[in-house]
């Protein structure tokens, strides 16, 4: 345990930021799963779910949760799935 006041504060701040990052990561994963299920079941709202997932991915990049190349790869995978279902 830290003894210095600033070190104690850093522990608190890091715990708070970790909780926020974990919540954001969880929301991202949930939205990607919803989009994948919508594509696999060929749901009516497939395009809308994929658009929501792409938006979440872009937000994750802006927040520093994902690397931009990782985001591009995930968006590309969703687009490929839509094209396979649509074709």
pLDDT at 14 over 60: yes
Instruction: Provide the pLDDT for residue 87.
Output: 54
Q: In this predicted model, what pLDDT tens digit does every residue of 29-86 receive, in sequence order?
A: 999 999 999 999 988 889 999 999 999 999 999 999 999 999 999 999 999 999 988 6
Rounded to whole angstroms, how far apart are CA atoms 11 and 65? 20
Rounded to whole angstroms, how far apart are CA atoms 56 and 64? 12
What's the pTM value of the predicted model, to 2 decimals? 0.85
Q: How confident is the model at residue 1 (pLDDT cuts 50, 70, 90)?
A: confident
CATH number for the domain formed by residue range(s) 5-86 = 1.20.58.110
The domain spans of the chain are: 5-86
């Amino acid at each position: 345990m830290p003894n210095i006041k600033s070190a104690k504060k850093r522990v608190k701040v890091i715990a708070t930021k970790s909780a926020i990052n974990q919540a954001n990561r969880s929301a991202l994963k949930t939205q990607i799963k919803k989009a994948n299920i919508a594509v696999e079941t060929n749901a009516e709202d497939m395009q809308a779910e994929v658009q929501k997932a792409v938006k979440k991915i872009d937000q994750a990049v802006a927040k520093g949760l994902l690397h931009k190349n990782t985001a591009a790869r995930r968006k590309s995978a969703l687009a490929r799935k839509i094209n396979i279902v649509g074709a």
